[in-house]
Amino acid sequence: MTSLEGKAKTFLELHRPGDPGVFPTVWDAWSANLAVAAGFSAITLGSHPVAGSVGRGDNEGMTFAELLTRVRQVTEAVEVPVSVDIESGYGLEPAQLIEGLLEVGAIGLNIEDTVHSEGDRLRAAEEHAAFVHGLRQYADAAGVHVVVNARTDLFLREDGDESDRVDRAIARLELAAAAGADVLFPAGRFADADLRRLTSELPLPINVVALPDKSDKAVLADQGVGRISFGPFLQFALSAEANRLLDRWK
**pLDDT tens by residue, 200-214:** 999 999 999 999 999
**Domains of the chain and any CATH numbers:** 2-247 (3.20.20.60)
Q: pTM of the entire structure?
A: 0.96
Q: What is the DSSP string of 90-115?
A: TT--HHHHHHHHHHTT--EEEE-SEE
Instruction: Write the CA distances from 245 to 14, 239, 250, integer angstroms.
Output: 36, 10, 10
Instruction: Write the CA distances from 172 to 126, 164, 180, 185, integer angstroms.
Output: 8, 12, 13, 11
Q: What is the DSSP string of 142-154?
A: HT---EEEEEE-H
Any residues with CB less than 8 A from the CB of 2 and at least 6 apart, and which? Answer: none
Pairing between strand 207-209 and 25-26?
Answer: unpaired
Using an 8 Å Cβ cutoff, are 132 and 109 in contact?
no
pLDDT digits (tens, 9 = 90+) for 9-51: 999 999 999 999 999 999 999 999 999 999 999 999 999 999 9
